[in-house]
Chains A and B, each alone.
Chain A
Amino acid sequence: MVWIAIRMLTGDATKFYGLLFGIAFSTLLITQQLTIFVNLIERGASGVYNVPSADVWVMDPVSRTTDVNLPMPSTALDRVRSVAGVEWAVPHLRAAASVRTKEGDLEGVSVIGVDDATLIGLPRRMASGAADVLERPDAVVIDDVGTTRFFPEGYDPVGERLELNDQRAVIMGVADAIPSFTSQVTLYTRYSRALNFVPGTRNRLSFVLVGAAPGVDAKALATRITQDTGLRARTRDEFARDGVDFIIENTGIPLNFGITVLLGFVVGVAIVGLTFSLFIRDNIKQFGALKAIGVNNAKIRRMVAAQAAMVGLIGYGLGVLGTVGFIWGFSSNPTFKGFYIPWQVPLISLVAVALILALTGWIALRRVLKTEPAAVFR
């Protein structure tokens, strides 16, 4: 009977495609929007992800994220270094600055000062140039997505001069970095140079980045650092999470995406519900005949379930493929750099599709089950 149910479904091409479209569209909308949402809020943690070698981030107790921080006195570095279990600790400066481009425009940038000796704080990979270019005077490394904001596409910025806070800087390399939430241009330079580029008060040390000694648990080390120094210490994962939470709490992004995802669900219910009930209405005579002949309600249920499952699986597959295609198609666009589909997202849209079909299938089924077999002689 399942075979008959599937043939009934596919035999009516218009409605079959309508149902597929409804499910695929909902899946696409939900999967794609959730994917963008997750990737976008994860950008709140890009500052942390770009320095994977740091096990623990140490900061002033009021600092919240890589970008929302209160600098500490430089003595904090030595205090952290003296805590047991700290393998290494390096200074890390993050500050806002402005750049005057060749055209004369003023652009806000982030300046990141990385450890002079080890260059810890610089993204692991370079898109162009080697990390040691920072040894040269006035050298800065620009992030790859930032490049596209300052220069035309495909342009090699190495050798370009910038006026960074009215001081001369020369781009000597391009870092392969995860863009920040705002896609602001990021300039990496050595810590000692950063102090020159970004003038300020006595306290300039934004973070101390810490590597744990072998066998030392990052979480335990962070707790110990806080106990010994009174500074706030977060493991890499915690601090990444802090950045994400900050975006969630301080922007309308969750609400906006939430509304779109809900819309995807509602549109799915509407299209699929309408088409499904049209399909059932057109086939109600056949279902009635089957009931009279002696097809019991359990088999009828299985038939409608098979139809729903078929529509669901194909439609869902198309929707997910569409999302993959979308992400793939835009992968070269800097806004979408590094976007991936977290495994939870297709799972969530699968649950949404199952809900849509359970709801609409149930309504359709009720009509079939209510049909009196005696109606076939009317």
Chain B
Amino acid sequence: MSAAADTATAIAAISTRGVARDFTAGQQTIRVLHGIDLDVRAGELTYLVGESGSGKTTLISIMCGILWPTEGEVRLFGTDIYRLSDSDLVDFRLRNVGFIFQQYNLIPAIDAASNAAVPLIAQGMDRLEARERAIELLAALNIAAQADKLPNQLSGGQQQRVAIARALVHQPRLIVCDEPTAALDARSGRRVMDLLREVALADDRSVIIVTHDNRIFDLADRILVLEDGRITHDGRDMPKDH
């Protein structure tokens, strides 16, 4: 029993080896990430912290399968994702990754429950069944009463909860969020992070959050600091000089 559990935790949820990424702007090619080696465990809330332009968004995009690295490999739950065919990678994301976008990117013409149900509908589940599952999740997020409302009838906080529901509804093994609290005041920011810890974190799931919001650093299981495309700190707390 315990041996099996040990093996499960021993397999990293995400592992990157030698991940580098170049961007070409005009004549110049700039290396934004330099040989990132990283293992992210399941069951942890991991923060990716760093100054603007340090490469956080680039790294998280590569880790979740939406941006090809120039060099290196990325394994998600054992799968070398950038060796998959294009369409297999899309399908892999659909089954394994939940996204929370900064601007939520909800579809304005469909109600909260349908928005939250999008990943299940995309997987081919019957629309009404998918909605029911989404409504359960909205209830857990305390916005079941808003299930039938269109996004523009919801407050910003409510929209974000719908976006969180959409990221969780298909029970992916990896959740990624880029700057989820950037637009929120301190109290709402903390509440969202508490919520994510509560509903998103599970033994078999990793949650990676990009942030430079120092008000919420105490809520992380692990903090990675990125500076100029290199990991310079890895620990439970922030380094003293930050």
Which chain A positions have C-beta within 8 A of B91? 294, 296
Report Cα–Cα, A257/B184, bound state, in Å. Answer: 62
Residues of B within 8 A of A (CB): 57, 60-61, 66-67, 87, 90-95, 97, 99, 101-103, 105-110, 114, 118-119, 121-122, 127, 166, 178
A-B contact pairs, 16 of them (CB 8 A): A3-B121, A8-B107, A289-B99, A290-B118, A290-B122, A291-B90, A292-B93, A293-B97, A293-B122, A294-B93, A294-B119, A298-B87, A374-B66, A376-B101, A377-B60, A377-B178
Do B109 and A289 touch across chains, with their CB atoms under 8 A apart? Answer: no
A374→B110 contact, CB < 8 A: no
CB distance from B50 to the nearest CB of A (A): 15
Question: Does A286 have its Cβ within 8 Å of any Cβ on chain B?
Answer: yes
* B110 x A7 contact (CB < 8 A): yes
Contact, CB under 8 Å: A285 / B66: no
**Majority SS of interface residues in chain B?**
helix
Give A246 to B6 CA distance when docked, in angstroms. Answer: 92
Is A378 in contact with chain B by the CB < 8 A criterion? yes
Does the CB pair A294–B90 fall under 8 Å? yes
Instruction: Write the residues of chain A forming the contact surface with B, with a CB cutoff of 8 angstroms.
Output: 1, 3-4, 7-12, 285-286, 288-299, 372-374, 376-378
Contact B97 A294 (CB under 8 A): yes
Whether B109 lies near A377 (C-beta < 8 A) is no
Is there contact, CB below 8 Å, between B57 and A294?
no
Which residue of the partner chain, among A8, A293, A299, contacts B99 with CB atoms under 8 Å? A293
A376 near B90 (CB under 8 angstroms)?
no
Known interface pairs A293-B93, A377-B57. Does A285 touch B122 (Cβ–Cβ under 8 Å)?
Answer: no
Chain A binding surface, main DSSP class = helix
Known contacts A4-B110, A376-B101, A377-B60; 18 further A-B pairs (Cβ under 8 A): A7-B107, A7-B109, A7-B114, A285-B103, A288-B105, A289-B105, A290-B118, A293-B118, A293-B119, A294-B119, A295-B94, A297-B90, A298-B87, A374-B61, A374-B66, A374-B67, A376-B66, A377-B61
Q: Would you call A294 and B61 a contact (CB within 8 A)?
A: no
Given contacts A7-B110, A377-B57, A294 and B105 within 8 Å (CB-CB): no
Contact B99–A4 (Cβ < 8 Å) = no
CB proximity of A348 to chain B, nearest CB, Å: 34
Q: Which of chain B's residues have a CB closer than 8 A to the CB of A373?
A: 66-67
Query: Whole-angstrom distance from the CB of B172 to the nearest CB of chain A?
Result: 9
A8, B90: Cα distance in complex, Å: 22
